[in-house]
A and B are shown apart, each in its own frame.
Chain A
Amino acid sequence: MSGGAPGGGPGGAPAFRLEGVSRRFGRGAGARAALEGVSLEVARGEFVALLGPSGAGKSTLLAILGALDRGYEGRVEVFGEDLASMPEARLGALRNARLGFVFQAFHLLPHLSVRENVAAPFLFGGEGGGGGARAAAERALDRVGLLARAGDGPDELSGGQRQRVALARAIVRGPEALLCDEPTGNLDSATGREVIGLLASLNRDEKMSVVVATHEPALAAAAGRRLGLVDGRLRAEGAGA
């Protein structure tokens, strides 16, 4: 089954387009298929939730959409460009400027302050980590309501605050799409709701495409479209809020 977008959305080419994408790990008889013939289109500005049990292939799909995993078969286009033909430097630039990542485990660097964590993408963007990066980091922290904690270390924050810092890091370069892997998975329901609200507002106000892999019904309910993944195949689809 394929997951076609309801519409092309703004900007012409869809944010993501997959055609018959498969991903296998291991070789020979021990090989395991994480994805099997997945075709999918996510329009620009669309909010899509990927649902499914653990091991269904949600994280693998996110890694492929985020140009972190190129060991797939099939065709993957991000903002209209075929990932297979892109050199490493352009892939890096794509991840740096046009995509934002949020992980279940936050992946904040404990030796850096909150501000430095949020500004980290600027180290790889060609601008360096100067004053512009600092100002952008503070704007992003203000957006997630944590500007007052900019000088603190990640260890001084609660789980919900850490995930909001990770979200600030993901949006600091003004990306066109966010890829979130279980962003509320380590949070209680109250802080989870804060993060869901932020994601929804980024999608609504900034017109960012958002793809989340989640078990969380509340988060799935916030998505405009829900796709089910079972044993590496897209099984179900439905419109949300």
Chain B
Amino acid sequence: MRASALATLVGRDLARARASLAGAAFGIGAGTSALVFFAALALGVRAVLFGDVFPLDRVELEPKAGPEPGLLSVLLGGGSPPPGIEAAAIERVAAAPGVVRVYPKLRAALPAAAFGGKEIVGREIGTHEVPLEGLDPALVEGELKGPLSFRDPLAAGGPACQADAECGGARYCERPSGEAAGRCSDPVPVLVSRYLVELFNKGIAPAHGYPPVAASLLARAEGVTFRIELGASMLGRAAKGAPRAVKARIVGVSPNAIDLGLTLPLGVVERWNREYAGEAAASRRSSLLVRVASADRVAPLVEAAAREGLAPKDERARDLSAMVNGVAALLGLVSLVMLVVASTNIAFTFRALVAERRPEIGLYRALGATPGDVRAWLLSLALAVGAGAGALGAAVARAAAWAADRAAASSLPDFPFKPETFFRFSPSLYLGGAAFGALFAVAGALWAVRRAARLDPARALLGS
């Protein structure tokens, strides 16, 4: 039988038995809708959790914690040397299978404080103790939208100077401790985390009567300079070097910035560590952010890293991944149960349809239809019903997701990493929904179709 003839038969049936077929299709549509909705929710939550919060294709490795030094060691000034990762170990990690790139990080080994913000909140604010961390600028390449860049301002050198006034504009004279002369430098670029912004908005700003840092205000803050005091803080002074101040400016908010503190270009922290803590603190790295080709390359990387004495800094991603997968599987199972129930409904409908149409099926056989033609006709009908119901279910899921996102936007409080949508739909998800609907409809109809194909046309037509 030709496809056009099959389409004619199916089209006539859809028009003729639309009420009973629509009833049977309702369950398929509802099941598919639930399946697509939960799948999109799981994909969306995974995208936020493992794309922004805990990227699954990235692992941060740091030296394994050594044994506690003990009170006597502390009193005697002994204990382990400061941990750090040497260049050779970094090269070996970079050569491990599946590693796309390694981004070193370096924590500042000096006390620091930061002050400024008058241009934003109307008066100077600050903190007498601020952690600093250096980051490979390549990691945030492409993140910054404005004209400001995140790189060591002295990487290409600068004119010699003795004082800030000689440099002009926003520039300042970067003059390390004990050096006879410094070099004019642009303010040090700084990245802050979304978490820090939220903390300020929700905790610090209300307590001190400051305005929250909204997106527009943050845009104003980008480029505004502030002061970082190096070598001394509320908790004490550095063992080496003399306290001094440098100019810095916020160039953006980044998910790669440390949660609490300021993130600077790696070269800047390296210089300051050398100045205040010595060469070892400058040449080693605190941790390595490793990007792998896919999430399944993380386990072999962790094994390779263990041989270098390194361990993942945060294993929450893997725990959360297992939990999200478990919840998604459970919701998927519920949807599949709905589809199985709907499939039995299809089975009843097709059984009744075949019983009711025995003479018609017999007539078609007399007019030349083979058992294969009868199977193709009724399976195509089931396929059309299932695929139509599945596609409709997927569309309903999309509408429900839109409504859920709207409700979340208006009723959920802001929180770090709050996404614009909790769902991720893709063409393959829609197609998958329609295919699942079709699959379960065909499965439900199979038994009745088999009976129809085996129907004795002589008995159906002649009663012989």
Name A's B-contacting residues (CB within 8 A).
Answer: 34, 59-60, 62-63, 66, 68-69, 88-89, 91-93, 95-97, 101, 103, 105, 107, 109, 111-112, 120-130, 169, 181
Interface residues of chain B: helix, strand, loop or mixed (majority): helix
Chain A residues with CB below 8 A from B370, complex form: 88-89, 91-92
Residues A59 and B463 in contact, CB atoms below 8 Å apart = yes
Which of these binds chain A: B151-159, B419-427, B437-445, B453-461? Answer: B453-461
CA distance A103 to B464 in the complex (A): 12
**Total cross-chain contacts (CB, 8 A):** 95
Residues A107 and B1 in contact, CB atoms below 8 Å apart = no
22 contacts between A and B (CB under 8 A): A59-B458, A59-B463, A63-B461, A63-B462, A88-B372, A89-B372, A91-B370, A92-B370, A96-B368, A101-B366, A103-B461, A107-B362, A109-B360, A109-B363, A121-B368, A123-B367, A124-B5, A125-B368, A126-B2, A127-B2, A128-B4, A129-B5
Residues B16 and A123 in contact, CB atoms below 8 Å apart = no
A-contacting residues, B338-379, CB 8 Å: 359-360, 362-373
Residues A95 and B372 in contact, CB atoms below 8 Å apart = no
Residues A112 and B12 in contact, CB atoms below 8 Å apart = yes
CA distance A95 to B461 in the complex (A): 14
Chain A residues with CB below 8 A from B16, complex form: 111
Residues B458 and A60 in contact, CB atoms below 8 Å apart = yes
Residues A68 and B2 in contact, CB atoms below 8 Å apart = no
For residue B419, give the distance in angstroms from its CB to the closest CB of chain A: 51
Q: Known contacts being A59-B462, A109-B360, A111-B12, is A97 close to B368, with CB within 8 Å?
A: yes
CA distance A59 to B461 in the complex (A): 10
For residue A201, give the distance in angstroms from its CB to the closest CB of chain B: 23
Residues A95 and B2 in contact, CB atoms below 8 Å apart = no
Contact of A92 among B362, B369, B458, B464 (CB under 8 A): B369
Known contacts A68-B366, A88-B370, then 7 further A-B pairs from the complex at CB < 8 Å, ordered by chain A residue: A68-B461, A68-B462, A92-B365, A107-B461, A109-B363, A126-B2, A169-B367
List the 5 closest pairs (A to B, CB-CB), nearest first.
Answer: A96-B368, A63-B458, A124-B368, A59-B464, A69-B458
Residues B366 and A123 in contact, CB atoms below 8 Å apart = no
Per-residue CB proximity of B159-201 to A under 8 Å, as 1/0?
0000000000000000000000000000000000000000000
